Structure formats: structure tokens, C-alpha cells
Structure 1
Amino acid sequence: MTTYSSSLLRLLDERGYIHQMTDAAALDALAQKQIVPGYIGFDPTAPSLHVGSMVQIMLLRRLQQAGHKPIVVMGGGTGKIGDPSFKDEARGLLTNEKVAENVASIRRIFERFLSFGDGPADAIMVDNAEWLDRLEYLPFLREVGQHFSVNRMLSFDSVKQRLDREQSLSFLEFNYMILQAYDFRELSQRYGCRLQMGGSDQWGNIVNGIELTRRMDGIEVFGVTTPLLTTADGGKMGKSVNGAVWLNEEQLPAYDFWQYWRNCDDRDVGRFLRLFTDLPLEEIARLDALEGAEINDAKVVLANEVTRLVRGDDAARTAEATARETFVGGGAGEDLPALTIGAEGMRLGAVLTEIGFTASNGEAKRKIMEGAVKIDGETILDQGYVVIAEDGAPIKLSLGKKKHGLLMR
């Protein structure tokens, strides 16, 4: 095991963030000598980031915890193109107005993770549209394009896999890695940024930025990537059976967010506690060692800690109380997902899909046939059952042991 001298790399290593690094020894020495400004970019492709982005957000938090300066780069410029890295096809292009809306919506989440301000180690947030939107094509090609080898760009796994599968890669997308490399150089000039971090799929883009900065300015900058994060059962981090696990409250209620962590695989508990909470490593080791039914106590701690960080203390307390009331007390806590149905009622299959418990009416019918659906504790097997709610008397809907909701008029 590598032993690092700087508190930054020791922290990242102990908690499991490091996958690849460029010149680890030089970065380790730099982090001992000075405050290191480091950045991660986030493209605003939706109004919220989801749990799959949390490793990178936490990476910026760890950077600040170790005494260094986080730079959050909103991809108002690159988001108009879309990163093709390891994607099967091009993303739909967003309008300038939609990109701006998404940037404004995403900004809020970072205020819970980072301390912003004007101090040497305070976080800052910038938008790469500030410089990318102003580029002139011919001067950019002459100044920057000469430093890129198309042969080498084609050799990166993120591009090569797309071409090997004979899937189209547009010239627009191909330019993404050049623009990201230019971001690193621009941030180096503007803010003295010396480090870019990202997921393992960003390795090629990061290396491009390091080489461009060295060739154009003679400055040594560094890169760190995190491991590809999947759940123990091989699933993609941040995805649930009902879709993405969004960080913003508007996209996903706090209770559903809490439940995502509470229902994680036993094998993921220790790793998630290290990556996504600030609990001491000794306490995490104790929780990770729990076995049998006691591992559920560790999952509740995980759910509380992550929800508190992302949504706040009140959201964590309410979600836990709702879960306790629902699962232990047999009642229906106030924070359960709810659906309003009209006076004429709604078919049970449609209710299950509308509230988000099933992905389609076909799946809903299968769940009803399997006896997995209950109304106020009573199993319903009739696929044509119509749910009628009375004024002021919510109905408790359950799918299996873990999904519960309220139906009201």
C-alpha cells in the first residue's frame, strides 16, 4: 500500500477515492507545500445531479477538508455539446435557455457540501460558458488545435469503444475533449488551478488538459480519477428501479432519497460510509463489522448521514421517523410519497405506476397477481380493483415490504 505524506492524498486514499493519478509523488509534494486549487466539471444536462455524481461532489469536499481550494465548474459551455465518453449515442442538444435553467438549479446543491467565499481555501463556482462562448473558431484552431493529435484522440477508450461498435460519433462530440482540455488550461491561468479530478471515464480528457497546459504554458498540473462506482450487485450507482436518485428535493422526495440508502446491499455499507459520510474511519469499521439483523442499524446510520448532508437535518429526522412509523409501528408516517386521486377513483395498476412504485401498468398487474400489493394492510389480487379515497382519510398503499405510500382525495 502506498504511503502518502500530504493530508490530501492520505485522506483520499483511506476513504477509497483514488483510482489513477498523474505523477503521484509530485502532487503529494505540492499538496504539502501549498494550497492546491482543484476542479471538477459538471455538465447541466438535467435540473438536478443524481447520486452518481456524489463521489465527485464528495471529492471536492475532501479537497477542502484537507485545506485546499475546490473549484466547481458548471458546464454551461460544454453542456451544449455533451460528453461522449463511454456513451452509446449522442445526447439530445439542449437550448441555451434550458442549459441556463439547469445551471441555476444545480448550483444550490453544492452549498450544502462546500464552504464558499473569498478566502484562500474557500470554494468558488464558475461557468465555462464564460470563456468557451467567446472563442473564435479560427484563432482557437491555430492556437489550441495544433497541440492535439487525432490519431491519439482516436486511441482513447472512451472514443475507441464507440467506433469499434460502429456507432456514430459526431464532429461536435469529438470536440468535447478539446474543450475540456482547454478548460483546465483556462482555469490554470485564471485561478492557479493545479488539479483536475473526475471519474475513471474522464482519464483521457484529464490527460489531454494536462498535456495542453504543459505545452502552451510550461506549467505542471495533475489529475486524479476515482474508481468506477457500481453497487455490489453490479448495478449503476445512482439508479433505482424507478429511475435516477436525484439530489434535489424537487426531483425526488426526501423519504425516497433516504430509503435508497437504507435499502442498499449489505456489502456496500462500509464503502458507502467511507465515501459519502464524514463519520470517523474507526466508527465506520465498527458499523461495517455488524452482521445479521444488526447491519440494518448501520444502514439507518448511512441513510441518516447522507440525507442530512444532502437535504438537511430536518429531512433526515422526518424520513427516519416516517420509516420507523411505517415499518415498526405499522402506521403511515407523514413523509411517505403521496398521490391524490379523484372522487371517481383510479385503477390499482395505474395508481402503482403513477406513484412511481412500478415502471409500467404491465409490471403493476404482475405485482398484483403475485400478491405483492396491499391496501391498508389487505392483499389485493384483483387487477381491476378501483381505489376510492374518502376526504380526510388517507389510504396506505404497500408494494412488498419496502415501498409504502399514501393515497388521498
Structure 2
Amino acid sequence: MWNWKTLVQYVPEPGGTFDAKAWLDAFPQLERAKTTPQDPIHHAEGDVWTHTVMVALALLAHPAFAALNETERQTIFTAAVLHDIAKCDTTQVDVQTGRISQPGHSRRGAVDARLALWAMDTPMPQREAICRMIGVHQEPFFAINGSRSGKSPEFLVRRLSWLADLHVLALLAEADIRGRLCSDPQRVLDDIELFRELAKDEHCYRTPRSFVDAHTALAYFRGAELHPDYPLHSEPGAQVTIMCGLPASGKNTWVQAHRPDQAVVSFDDARTELGLRHGKNEGAVAHRAHDKAKALLRRKQDFVWNATHLSEQMRRKSLDLCLAYGATVEIVHLEAPRDALFKRNNQRATSLSNAALLGMVSKWEAPLPVEAHALQWWQAARANADADQLIGI
């Protein structure tokens, strides 16, 4: 069985060769890329796997790849091989025009890559660096001209700098363009170069763009029109810890160890109070939890919101409520190795089966630093460890 230590042996050294067979063996889902078509206007080279190989070779041939350190080379090369992993499941063909598209493949690709790399026991910081790049790998194409979000180039560069090393991200984007046949690659390559220059002007080419404080940064990333260097006034509210992680990842244990004296809002508690099994009448469960959260927020009482919060959409609902009451919010993401997670779940008194837990994994969108005032990542204690471990990501 493949693991991360085995996989990185197949990341080529500068000037090395791409062992496509090994990577297909490590990620068998990529076999489908060989028969997944692409729009010939943007990908005249043909199927997704042909493009993926061309991207890998373009990256290896780039002098900037040789200048990266070993960890950076592992990260960008893995992202390059997996950057279109979700095109197989997102392909749509317009019946009238015959045009091919893969909407949302970047975001879905980050989820698919996370699951595969999690199963390989990839170190959390490196895994997330890979997944974040996959999730935004097309952004440097459009940041300068014609962003589909309608945001300014400055906003996009500042936000992206909190998600990835823009030097490495721009290199991945450049390899993505050089590894295809399309009508006007030079125009996109010029835009990527302008993206680099803007990031340098913003002093965030290799580090996150600085903000005067966390509250100003969060307000900016949520759409407030302000300047990063001037603080936005805020009234003090509750301090809220929003837990995030799969069931059995150790959230309850973490809360007991790190927030023992705080009130807890929990969907599991609401479920128990209502006498419901997991997955039954989740609307009533959410309503009860939200009512308790509102009461605590009105009193400006610190509390922990203990739920899975697996997707960005789920977290946003809780965040919107907390921030509407002026709370300061920290997300604590906790996870456990795959095998340990299923073993833990079997040992719990729960109505959630491992099969149902596995179904939840497909919705796992890890939190980003732009979502809250602060973000912590924790690795749940392993069998031979005494405590959970704080991971810097």
C-alpha cells in the first residue's frame, strides 16, 4: 500500500524523469483521466492525463523548479500531478454546442486530493499546502484580467497569499499553461507574470499579506471595503471556539482538555435532548443548537461550538451568526489518521457507522485561515502519544 514516504521517492530531482506508471499506481483514480475529454479550444492536446503528463514535464523543465527546496518540490510536483484529479467527475458536455467544461473541478479536486493524501498519512502541513494549491490553481490565470469573482486583482493576490506561497503557486500555474496546446498561451503567461509583480508590490510574494490586526483581515476577506493597514473598529463580544473535524477525531477530548470551563453548543447534545438518532431531523437539531448559541452570544459569554463543520458552507452558517453578534472566532481543526479514526469510531457509543462516516469524508473541506480571526490545526493523539499535537499550517 502506498504511503507518503514511498510516494516522495517518485518526486523527480531537478533534471530527472517523470515515472508516470508509479504515480498512476499510487493514485489509480487517475486512470480515468486517460478517457476524460477536454475542450479542444483550451486543451487541443486531448485527454486529461495527456495534459497532466505535459504539465509534469513542463514543471521539471522549468529552472525555477530546480531552485526550490526539497519540500517545495514535493509539494508542487504532487499538486501538478493531482491538479485536475476531479475533472473525471465534473465533466459536462453541452448538447447543443458540444463544448466541454469541468465546473468546480479545482475545489472538488482539493477534496479528492485531501482524501487520497490523508489515506497515505501525508504530514498535515504539506498535505494542506498541496490541496490549497489545487483548489486555487487557476486563479493566477484570471487575477489580473477578468476575474470570475468580480474582485480586484489586489484583493485576489492578498487573499491567495494567505492560502499559498505565491511563488510556488505561480510556478504551478505557468506549468499548467505550458503543459497544453491552446490558441494564445503567451497572453496567459503574461498575466501570470503580472500576477507575480503585483504580489511583489504587495509584499506578499512569499509570505501572507500583512494586516494591522486579525479583525481587519477577517472583515476584508469577508468583503468589507477597507485598507489592510488601517484598523477597523470593533466592539468586544464573546470569544467563540468553533470546532471542526470528522466524528471520532477527538473534538470532545480536546474541549475537555483546553476549554473545560466554557459552555458548549453541540449538535450531538441537541440530538440527545431531542431523542434523535444521527441523520434524523437534522433541521430540528440545528435549530436547537442555534437557539443556544444565540442566547450565549447575546450575553457575550464565551463558548465552544462543537460540531463537525466539515464544509465551508457549514462553517459559514455558524460563523455568520457569531460574527453578527460581534464575536471573536477561532476555528480549531482536529483530525486523526484514517485507520485510527475508524477504530475510534467503532469504540464509541454512537449511532454513526463507519460506512456513514466514510460518506461524510467526501464533504471534508478543511478550514482556511481567511475564514476566522484565528485557525489552529491539531493532530489527535496517536496510540503511543500522551497528548494531542498542535500543528502549524
Q: Same fold judged by TM-score > 0.5? A: no
- Rg larger in 1 or in 2? 1
Structure whose residues are more often strand by fraction: 1
TM-score (norm 1): 0.24
